[in-house]
Amino acid sequence: MPSLPWSDIDTVLLDMDGTLLDLHFDNHFWLEHLPQRYAELHGVSRAMAEQELQPLFERNAGQLQWYCLDFWSAELKLSVRELKLETAHLIALRPDADTFLDAIKRAGKRVVLITNAHRDSLSLKLERIQLAPYFERLISSHDYGFPKENPQFWDALQADIHFDPSRSLFIDDTLPILRSARDFGVAHLLAVRQPDSRKGPRDTAEFAAVEDYRDLIAGL
């Protein structure tokens, strides 16, 4: 990972799930816990539950409703909020993410959280991990009505916080989102090599990747 030109960066935009928080919680919930509880609550087999859920997941991936707990609660006829509470003990910070956040705040950078997470998911995670004090703003894409994959999200963000894309760093674990940010003109982009601590490193394609947050602090 190349060193960052911190003198050229005023604003740091950060994703939450898979970037600051271990993606294991979300992967476990959507791929294991939800299918199991769906099967139990609807009286079907686990295999049947997965057969019913998979096309729904594929059809809605990358759209705002994919991240909306209200949508999934209505679609699946169960309380996703309550089910998330059952696995909330798995919510965890990625190694040294707090060290990085503290360093960039102390350095006087403008730090903004931008997440596709529904406000209820955001609240649940902030109750367990004290992230809020590091940020000027905590923005959910649901506030704007567009996911980060959509160019209109970036237009709305610009209108809201008036940042200079050419002097901004954005870190996210999702390649289509990074490409959307690049298309908008965000100059400094980093992916995340291993967003889920229980899974191996990922190919981040054309993007340099964060492997150790302590390395990013050099030169601040």
pLDDT digits (tens, 9 = 90+) for 31-65: 999 999 999 999 999 999 999 999 999 999 888 88
What's the burial of 90, exposed, middle or buried (CB within 10 Å: 0-12/13-18/19+)? middle
For residues 189 and 181, the answer to whether their CB atoms sit within 8 Å is yes
- Please say if the pLDDT value at position 12 is more than 70: yes
Please give the mean pLDDT across all residues of the chain: 94
Radius of gyration of the chain (CA): 18
Give the pLDDT band of residue 87 (cuts 50, 70, 90): very high
For residues 206 and 189, the answer to whether their CB atoms sit within 8 Å is no
Give the pLDDT band of residue 199 (cuts 50, 70, 90): very high
Give the tens place of pLDDT for each residue, 133-183: 999 999 999 999 999 999 999 999 999 999 999 999 999 999 999 999 999
Task: Write down the catalytic residue from 8, 155, 160, 183.
Answer: 8
Give the pLDDT band of residue 2 (cuts 50, 70, 90): low
- What's the rounded mean pLDDT across residues 183-190? 98
Q: Which two tokens stand for residue 85?
A: 């509470």
Q: Which two tokens stand for residue 25?
A: 């919680």
If you search the block for the tokens 């919510």, which residue do you land on? 91
pLDDT at 66: 87
Q: Domains in the chain, ordered, with CATH?
A: 6-22+92-216 (3.40.50.1000), 25-89 (no CATH)
Give the pLDDT band of residue 75 (cuts 50, 70, 90): very high
- Please say if the pLDDT value at position 1 is more than 80: no
120 is an active site residue: no
Among 65-74, 110-119, 151-160, the minimum mean pLDDT is found in 65-74
- What's the rounded mean pLDDT across residues 108-128? 94
